[in-house]
Chains A and B, each alone.
Chain A
Amino acid sequence: MNTAPKPAQVLAALLLCGLGARAGAAPSYPVVAAQSSLSFVGTQQGERFTGVFRTFDARIDYAADDLPGSRFDVTIPLKSLDTKSTERDQALVTADWFDVAHFPAATFRTVGMRTTPGGVVADADLSIKGRTKRIVFPFTWKAASTGATLDARVTLDRLDFGLGGGEWADESTIGRKIDVIVHLTLAAPAPVAPAGKVNGKLPPKH
């Protein structure tokens, strides 16, 4: 097997390095897991229920004055879901729903951020169960004495991700709209990446 990188692969690697360097420009805020939550609200048989993902990995790079250098990158192991009902949790990991055996994690990656009259929104690719959908993700960023908080609420259509297709598609038993509620408590960002100093550049200031 030929292991030498092809020119295209070299080019791709260089591009990725370039993107990485650019994305690293905004400070990276560590998530305080104990004070953060990723929850969702669905409707079952006429009643709302709340679930949480007990674990998730989030890389939050953000600077209000450097939206191109900001990015959110979140990976959610789906078997960490908890809706406070053993039966429902067991059902949600099966092939009809998250199909955790084949698709263990969901990912959320911003592809850009922009300022709108209502505030900053991110455009992001959300991948669940092998299906990727570009979503608009409005969020509220509040600087704290140390770190910051990030709050967001988006409504998803579960059928966009093949969650509960077939017989479950009829929403009289399980509603189609799912509200996802994000609350992140973020610690003070780590010191600016040393790579910037090596090159003699300071982080952009506006």
Chain B
Amino acid sequence: MALRSTAKGWGPVARAFHWGMLLLFLGIIPVGYYMTDLPLGLAKLKIYALHKSVGLTLLGLAVLRLVWRLGDRRPTLPPMPAWQARAASAAHALLYVLMFAMPLSGWVYNSASHFPLQWFRLVNLPAIVGENKPLAALAKEAHEVGALVLIAIVVLHAAAALKHHFVDKDATLRQMLPSKGDRR
């Protein structure tokens, strides 16, 4: 089975990264908003730990995904106005930036707050900065703003894909869907 992408569609590896990370994103974002208002307690600590574990997983996947993408080809874009192609490229670039910026700002926030970092109770990860309250506040702000930008871009990205599928009736969405058609 060909793992790589072709002119006609994304390969299975690219699709797995795309949909797998979307699933984790759909989990981590609501948890992130929910947990901050919890009262101090064990539940809060555990939910934060889960959020951090999923975030670290996403960071690891982002690294693998970027490496894979650099060696992979991209399917040919269906015909569309140049501004749309440019907007799509910009959105994808921003998504890649946020794939790294979100977990890293969370990690900086955690380290600067002098909190432990454990991946699913299995491995402890080192602090990437020293204890630093102003930096913690800055990283928290970046993490919050980043979340809003990320949600906005994901919504825009999904809306564009649906527009291509239902209005333009082109192959854009099918190139990424785990369907049999249009794969090569």
Q: How far is the CA of A44 from the CA of B121 in the complex (A)?
A: 11
Cβ of B80 < 8 Å from any Cβ of A? no
B40 touches A44 (CB 8 A): no
Chain B residue numbers with a CB within 8 Å of A87 are: 40, 113, 115
A173 touches B41 (CB 8 A): no
A88 touches B115 (CB 8 A): yes
A47 touches B41 (CB 8 A): no
Q: How far is the CA of A94 from the CA of B42 in the complex (A)?
A: 12
Q: Looking at B40, B46, B113, B118, which has the most chain A CB atoms within 10 Å of its CB?
A: B40
| Interface size counted on chain B using CB atoms at 8 A | 17
A86 touches B46 (CB 8 A): no
A173 touches B133 (CB 8 A): no
In the complex, which residues 87-117 of chain A have their Cβ closer than 8 Å to any Cβ of chain B?
87-88, 90-91, 94, 96
| Pick from A47, A86, A91, A96: contact of B116, CB under 8 Å | A47
Tell me the smallest distance from the CB of A187 to a CB of chain B, in Å: 31
Cβ of A168 < 8 Å from any Cβ of B? yes
Number of A-B contacts (CB under 8 A): 45
Tell me the smallest distance from the CB of A42 to a CB of chain B, in Å: 11
A94 touches B118 (CB 8 A): no
A45 and B42 in contact, given A84-B114, A85-B114, A86-B113 (Cβ under 8 angstroms): no
Tell me the smallest distance from the CB of B52 to a CB of chain A, in Å: 9
A46 and B121 in contact, given A84-B131, A173-B45 (Cβ under 8 angstroms): yes
A46 touches B118 (CB 8 A): yes
Contact with A along B109-140 (1 / 0, CB 8 A): 00001111110010010000001010000000
Cβ of A172 < 8 Å from any Cβ of B? yes
| Interface size counted on chain A using CB atoms at 8 A | 19
Cβ of B49 < 8 Å from any Cβ of A? yes
Tell me the smallest distance from the CB of B113 to a CB of chain A, in Å: 6
B40 touches A85 (CB 8 A): no
Chain B residue numbers with a CB within 8 Å of A167 are: 41-43
| Pick from A45, A86, A88: contact of B133, CB under 8 Å | A86
Q: How far is the CA of A167 from the CA of B117 in the complex (A)?
A: 21
A168 touches B42 (CB 8 A): yes
In the complex, which residues 18-67 of chain A have their Cβ closer than 8 Å to any Cβ of chain B?
44-47, 49
Chain A residue numbers with a CB within 8 Å of B42 are: 167-168, 173
Q: How far is the CA of A86 from the CA of B40 in the complex (A)?
A: 12
Cβ of A83 < 8 Å from any Cβ of B? yes
Q: How far is the CA of A167 from the CA of B133 in the complex (A)?
A: 29
Closest to A90 in B: B40
Write the residues of chain A forming the contact surface with B, with a CB cutoff of 8 angstroms: 44-47, 49, 83-88, 90-91, 94, 96, 167-168, 172-173
21 A-B residue pairings within 8 Å (CB atoms): A44-B116, A45-B49, A46-B121, A47-B116, A47-B118, A47-B124, A49-B114, A49-B116, A83-B114, A84-B114, A84-B131, A85-B115, A87-B40, A87-B115, A88-B115, A90-B40, A91-B41, A168-B42, A172-B121, A173-B45, A173-B46
Write the residues of chain B forming the contact surface with A, with a CB cutoff of 8 angstroms: 40-43, 45-46, 49, 113-118, 121, 124, 131, 133
Closest 7 CB pairs of A and B: A47-B116, A45-B116, A85-B114, A84-B114, A167-B42, A45-B118, A46-B124
